[in-house]
Structure 1
Amino acid sequence: MEHPARTLTARLLASRSLPRTDPQVRRALVDEAFRAELEARLAAVGLQLIDNPYAEHVAVALADDVHEPVFGAGREYAASNIGLTRDQIALLVIIWALIVLPKRERQVNRQKLIDDGQHDMFGQEAPLPHGEEVAGSLSEASLLADFAPVLGHKTYVQGKLLSRLAQLGFIERRGGLIFEGPLLDVLLDYRLLADRIIHGTLGEVLAQAGHPLPDSDGADEGL
């Protein structure tokens, strides 16, 4: 007989991420006992469930206390534990800033409208906004024009950087546009990155390139 928590654990390990709309995932998000069993199964093998209510997917990642035993003390993984190079990480952060930050602003604004009752008299019971209504995309040609000169030439960025990020599930490339992949929002910590990017050097670089970022004030309420 199928055991739902066992099955969901195996599916997460096999797929790395699953959409929040998946029936078993939805159960894990609302059923405390089921979630506790899922988390216990993951913890038994040194993993944890990563769930950001604003993201469209959930994922699994190493538990904090096993980073050292798994990757060793040599710090080879200090920049990335999935083998990303420095320029791939740089491009990943740029794409995250250009897609996720504006998306989060739209999500928060939509949620505020719902909470104010302007869209639905029962708005406070509505799920957080996801999907096409808040999704964004980025022109690949524009990204290359603005950042390929500092990351390498166009062919290198397309063939080595973007292709690797797509392969790992951080982005999706369709029709000359870059879309958020299943792991982009859920694995990069918004609370850690947003303020540093918006008010840091990268925010100034993006603004100079014609990509001004939204203000981070209140953009992570409820997380």
Structure 2
Amino acid sequence: MMEQSLTVLVSRLLAHRVIPRSDALARRALLDDAFRAELDQRLAAVGLRLVENPYAEHIAVALLPAMTEPVFGSGEAWLNNNLGLPRDGVALLVIVWALIILPKRERQISRVEAGREGQHDMFGAQKPLETGDTVSVGISEDALYADFGKQLGGRTRFAANLGRLVNLGFLNRRNKWLEEGPMLDLMIDYAALAPRIIEGALADVLGRRQALLQEAAASAPAAATDNSQVENA
């Protein structure tokens, strides 16, 4: 029975690339130690590993670190991805990850820490972490282009790369509003990249953008109050 379940799960991971954590076999892989050990062994035999984190709503597979050079090459032959993304497409991916996943993770971590402070349930640590629409927010496509479009090749290149990211499952796109896709929180190593972004070249740009958003949010209630005073008068 385990043999058949493992075969089905590995086949689905390879065919669909991502599987929701709520799926029965995905949950078994995350909760059943014996099943997970056998799954890891099977994936490792072909140079792969399971990719999951408690903040993401999906699981996927990726290359083992030892397989990076044999698959992607080195030196002048090195490939920075196996998805057909050009360099400006990879840059756009990093930017949307920083704008969507970094704030989402901050909210998730703060809510977990707040819950632990007031947690008196002895089994509280085993409860699932909060994910989904309550913590993940989107970004405006027009605002994204206004901030970074020219640096990423102009309107045509920006639109083409954005379409690639949507097709690859990194983003969901509705009426020029971009939201997290199933791949976005899995295929970039948060622990490795977050400090580089927060403390690096994008820090000032993203900081200024966040300040503008906060100013706009702060002015909205004031405007509503002024309007209500006019109506009451």
Is this contact kept in 2: 1:18–1:25, CA < 8 A? yes
Bigger helix fraction: 2
- Structure 2: distance between partners of 1:166 and 1:211: 28
Could you say if the C-alpha distance between residues 212 and 97 of structure 1 is closer, same or farther in structure 2, counting changes exceeding 3 Å? farther
Q: Secondary structure at the match of 2:173?
A: strand
Partner residue of 2:205?
205
Could you say if the C-alpha distance between residues 165 and 21 of structure 1 is closer, same or farther in structure 2, counting changes exceeding 3 Å? same
Q: Does 1:181 align with 2:176?
A: no
Q: Secondary structure at the match of 1:150?
A: helix
Is this contact kept in 2: 1:98–1:138, CA < 8 A? yes
- Structure 2: distance between partners of 1:4 and 1:98: 37
Partner residue of 1:221?
none
Say which structure, 1 or 2, has more relative contact order (CA 8 Å, 6+ apart).
Answer: 1
Could you say if the C-alpha distance between residues 190 and 73 of structure 1 is closer, same or farther in structure 2, counting changes exceeding 3 Å? closer
- Structure 2: distance between partners of 1:72 and 1:98: 30
Structure 1: state its 5+ residue gaps.
214-223
Paired letter, 2:38: E
Is this contact kept in 2: 1:170–1:180, CA < 8 A? yes
Point out the more displaced range, 43-52 or 120-129: 120-129
Structure 2: state its 5+ residue gaps.
214-233
Identity %: 53
Point out the more displaced range, 28-37 or 44-53: 44-53
| Cα drift, residue 176 of structure 1 | 1.6
Is this contact kept in 1: 2:72–2:80, CA < 8 A? no
- Structure 2: distance between partners of 1:185 and 1:119: 30
Q: Which has the larger radius of gyration?
A: 2
- Structure 2: distance between partners of 1:34 and 1:113: 33
Deviation string, structure 1 residues 125-164 (Cα, Å, up to 9, x no partner): 3111111211111111111111112112223311x11001
Paired letter, 1:36: A
Q: Does 1:190 align with 2:222?
A: no
TM-score by length of 1: 0.87
Could you say if the C-alpha distance between residues 163 and 119 of structure 1 is closer, same or farther in structure 2, counting changes exceeding 3 Å? farther
| Cα drift, residue 211 of structure 1 | 6.1
Paired letter, 2:51: I
Partner residue of 1:111?
112
- Structure 1: distance between partners of 2:99 and 2:92: 11
Partner residue of 1:61?
62
| Cα drift, residue 2 of structure 1 | 7.5
Partner residue of 1:145?
146
Could you say if the C-alpha distance between residues 203 and 73 of structure 1 is closer, same or farther in structure 2, counting changes exceeding 3 Å? closer
Q: Provide the alpha-carbon RMSD of the alignment.
A: 2.3
- Structure 1: distance between partners of 2:38 and 2:53: 19
Is this contact kept in 1: 2:141–2:178, CA < 8 A? yes
Partner residue of 2:166?
166
Number of residue pairs the alignment of both structures matches = 212
Is this contact kept in 2: 1:6–1:38, CA < 8 A? no
Paired letter, 1:79: N
Is this contact kept in 2: 1:46–1:66, CA < 8 A? yes
| Cα drift, residue 113 of structure 1 | 2.0
| Cα drift, residue 188 of structure 1 | 0.3
Point out the more displaced range, 24-33 or 79-88: 79-88
Could you say if the C-alpha distance between residues 81 and 140 of structure 1 is closer, same or farther in structure 2, counting changes exceeding 3 Å? same
Structural mapping, 1:120-159, within 5 Å: 123-158=124-159
Point out the more displaced range, 192-201 or 69-78: 69-78
Point out the more displaced range, 113-122 or 84-93: 113-122
